[in-house]
Structure 1
Amino acid sequence: MSGIYIHIPFCKQACHYCDFHFSTNHRTIQPMIDALIAEIEFRKESLQGDPIIKTIYFGGGTPSLLDALSIERILNAIYKHYSVALEECTLEANPDDIAVEKLRQLKHLNFDRLSIGIQSFNDQVLKFYNRAHSAQESMLAVKKSQDAGFEKLSIDLMYGFPHADHSIWKKDLETALTINPAHISSYCLTVEPKTALGKWTQTGKFEEADENFIHEQMKHLMLETSRAGYEQYEISNFAIPGKEAIHNSNYWKGTPYLGIGPSAHSFDGKSRWSTIANNNSYIRSAQAGLFPKQEEQLEPIDILNEYILTSLRTSWGTDTQKIKREYGVDLFEEKKNMLNQLSNEGMIIIKGPSLLLSQKGKFIADSIASALFIDYL
């Protein structure tokens, strides 16, 4: 099975930490919708090895800015040009865009999952991040969504905001667990060079929290979500059992997916490509019937090591039998000494043919994965 990701490159305003591709100029929304529909048709042969679409994901940017008719046009194009057996349909939304009528329309269009970008329930932090909503709007948005029947409701939270103590983060998490979403995606505040935070960091206006501070907040996150009945099925993602994100899980399993829109990435199992990250250029290309892409042909060793990197972050872990079957590599033999060391240090758990990160190991997941990378095939 495959998934389709639709990138909606518009936002109301620029969050100070965000380096995703977007524009705050909304004058080209309708030409962009036309271009997205044109690319959907243009790419219809791209997933021939795995042609059944099981998940659709509207990301961004801020997809909730779109009206229902525009969203419906995009969905109709997908159904027209692809074989669809839908298991999950997700839309990312900001709290200030969520109204009862909008939720009714999304339900009518068969969306069963919302991902609400809350980030914090502290108004001062939201103002610092330059978010367009308030904490009260977040609470109302969650309640409206739950009342509308969105059982697979996810919220985004961000930890690592520098402060004298952990009180802001503890209150944020306490509030989140009180409203009982089915899913929580939680990420550390990261300073990217081309953002406002990046510029402030360079000029000394902003200083990131240190590693110990972040470590303590992540530890608190893992402890409290577990107590509340959530499973950490991926390092940054926590779900009530049965409410995991199917679309995102398939990324981590190495399933092919098609990305539509400016800056969107695609993967067909052998190569990866991305479209131009410029709205006007993307629209002009679409109007000319052209969709240039930057393509990277992946060697088998690249795909294998990427599988180790992503699967190790999950609750199902790295399947060494899959690696042996598909690549002829016995990871237990190739990385015997390293696996013994990591196991003795309590960083990994060896469970039959699977390698799982321990709670301790989750704090240095990328380093552990790198130590298990294969050097040659």
Structure 2
Amino acid sequence: MAGLYIHIPFCASRCIYCGFYSTTALQWRQRYVDAVCKEMELRAKKEEGRRESVETVYLGGGTPSQLTIDQLRQLSIYINNVYGAATREFTIEVNPDDVSTEYAVMLSQLGINRVSMGAQTFDDERLRFLHRRHTAAQVPLAVQRLRDAGIQNISVDLMYGFPDENLQDWEYDIDAALRLHVEHLSAYCLMIEEGTPLWRLKIKNEKIKMDEETERLMYERLIDKVTEAGYEHYEISNFAKPGFRSKHNSSYWQDIPYVGLGAAAHSYDGHTRSWNISDLQQYMEAIERGQLPSEQEVIDEDTHYNDRITVALRTCEGLDLSTLSHKYRTYCEREAQRYIALGLLTREGTRLTLTRQGLFVSDDIMSSLIYV
């Protein structure tokens, strides 16, 4: 069963680090929602007889909580009408300051049963550095409002690797997140992507990025503290209480098809990968003309194998070698041997997984296992 992703590109303001496609042109929200709904209809017509049922829905961004309740209701109605979605998991990404008591109640009434909240840090100075709109105090308040509304599956995002941040600072953020008793935690090192305001800031100040050894220590501390608190470390950057893994994101790592709607959204059917144009106006105008503004590529065997390497090894289950053809299994087993000998990979039966030490050099290991 497929997952459905809808990209909501609207933000009240841009964060300094964000490399995702987004816009602050909030005046186009209704026209955009109308276009996304029409894209559902266009795709349904194009894929008549081949459309899979939807198991998970994910509203990402951008800041999906910048949509009004009426706009979210419109999307929900169309999802049910087009995909017949009896979803196990319906996630929306939110900013803490968008979660009023009324908004939380309405999310629950719309059938949204999972909320992913961008907390990032519980230090107000660092939030201002990131150009985040919320304050640290608004995070637990938003969590409580969601709980009171009946939403019992909440994820919180954290970020580490700030300029001048030390281990004690990072432990404070981890502890603050754990005190919320949320079901899921994601944590990412602050990345500097080309073209972002943070990238331009780094050009002027090389000290904006901390050293790799400190980042490694922070990641180790994260693993220790969060797993000791009872969370399962099921993917490189993700931790969940038992039974609360992100079903939608897990589909990406398990090679399950997904549909992406909206500007810049990607889709995958197991054989082809397609992506919509990353331009709000061009996207809406094309949809209004009855055209799908997307490009696609056919995924050949080498690309499919390489994709499996770079997603499956991110998970605690790792890569099942029995799913590979003889050609790629032989290649992968040969290339993996030196990492097994170094204690960076482990093999149990047909499963190849990263060890704890392997997590810290995962990019290098995956690059070596890619077929070239």
| TM-score normalised by length of structure 1 | 0.95
For residue 23 of structure 2, what is the amino acid of its counterpart? Answer: S
For residue 294 of structure 1, what is the amino acid of its counterpart? Answer: E
Aligned counterparts of 1:329 and 1:252: Cα–Cα separation in 2: 22
1:357 and 1:49, CA in 2 relative to 1: closer, same or farther beyond 3 A? farther
What is the correspondence of 1:226-375 to structure 2 with a 5 Å cutoff? 226-323=227-324, 327-329=325-327, 331=329, 333-375=330-372
For residue 300 of structure 2, what is the amino acid of its counterpart? Answer: E
Q: CA deviation at 1:166?
A: 1.9
Partners of 1:47 and 1:258 within 8 A in 2: no
1:197 and 1:374, CA in 2 relative to 1: closer, same or farther beyond 3 A? same
* Superposed CA RMSD: 1.5
1:359 and 1:49, CA in 2 relative to 1: closer, same or farther beyond 3 A? farther
Q: CA deviation at 1:174?
A: 0.9
Of 129-138 and 149-158, the range deviating more from structure 2: 149-158
1:48 and 1:371, CA in 2 relative to 1: closer, same or farther beyond 3 A? farther
For residue 100 of structure 2, what is the amino acid of its counterpart? Answer: A
Aligned counterparts of 1:47 and 1:9: Cα–Cα separation in 2: 28
Partners of 2:105 and 2:146 within 8 A in 1: no
Aligned counterparts of 1:303 and 1:337: Cα–Cα separation in 2: 19
Runs of 4+ in 1 over 3 A off after TM superposition: 45-50, 335-338
SS at match of 1:290: coil
SS at match of 1:24: coil
Give CA-to-partner distance per residue, 1:148-178, whole Å, 9 cap, x none. Answer: 2222100000011121622221110111111
Partners of 2:305 and 2:328 within 8 A in 1: no
What is the correspondence of 1:91-102 to structure 2 with a 5 Å cutoff? 91-102=92-103
For residue 350 of structure 1, what is the amino acid of its counterpart? Answer: R
For residue 123 of structure 1, what is the amino acid of its counterpart? Answer: D
Aligned counterparts of 1:43 and 1:50: Cα–Cα separation in 2: 9
Match in the other structure for 2:187? 186
1:47 and 1:197, CA in 2 relative to 1: closer, same or farther beyond 3 A? farther
Of 131-140 and 45-54, the range deviating more from structure 2: 45-54
1:16 pairs with 2:16: yes
What is the correspondence of 1:97-176 to structure 2 with a 5 Å cutoff? 97-163=98-164, 165-176=166-177
Q: CA deviation at 1:46?
A: 4.4
Match in the other structure for 1:221? 222
For residue 17 of structure 1, what is the amino acid of its counterpart? Answer: Y
1:10 and 1:47, CA in 2 relative to 1: closer, same or farther beyond 3 A? farther
Q: CA deviation at 1:328?
A: 3.5
Of 141-150 and 6-15, the range deviating more from structure 2: 141-150
Aligned counterparts of 2:152 and 2:268: Cα–Cα separation in 1: 29
SS at match of 1:194: coil
SS at match of 1:269: coil
Which 5+ residue runs of structure 1 have no aligned equivalent? none
Q: CA deviation at 1:39?
A: 0.6
Which 5+ residue runs of structure 2 have no aligned equivalent? none
Match in the other structure for 2:5? 5
Of 334-343 and 245-254, the range deviating more from structure 2: 334-343
Identical residues among aligned pairs (%): 36
Give CA-to-partner distance per residue, 1:1-31, whole Å, 9 cap, x none. Answer: 0011011110010100001111112111111
Aligned counterparts of 1:93 and 1:320: Cα–Cα separation in 2: 38
| TM-score normalised by length of structure 2 | 0.96
Partners of 1:51 and 1:83 within 8 A in 2: no
Match in the other structure for 1:29? 29
Partners of 1:113 and 1:151 within 8 A in 2: yes
Match in the other structure for 1:195? 196
Q: CA deviation at 1:205?
A: 6.9
Q: CA deviation at 1:365?
A: 1.2
Q: CA deviation at 1:47?
A: 8.9
Partners of 1:200 and 1:206 within 8 A in 2: no
Aligned counterparts of 2:292 and 2:79: Cα–Cα separation in 1: 17
Partners of 1:47 and 1:268 within 8 A in 2: no
Q: CA deviation at 1:248?
A: 0.2
Aligned counterparts of 1:263 and 1:23: Cα–Cα separation in 2: 12
SS at match of 2:306: helix
Q: CA deviation at 1:312?
A: 0.6
Match in the other structure for 2:40? 40
Partners of 1:317 and 1:357 within 8 A in 2: yes
Partners of 1:256 and 1:269 within 8 A in 2: yes
Aligned counterparts of 2:328 and 2:158: Cα–Cα separation in 1: 39
Give CA-to-partner distance per residue, 1:227-262, whole Å, 9 cap, x none. Answer: 101111100000001000000000111111111001
SS at match of 1:86: coil
1:330 and 1:275, CA in 2 relative to 1: closer, same or farther beyond 3 A? closer
Partners of 2:113 and 2:152 within 8 A in 1: yes
Q: CA deviation at 1:106?
A: 1.0
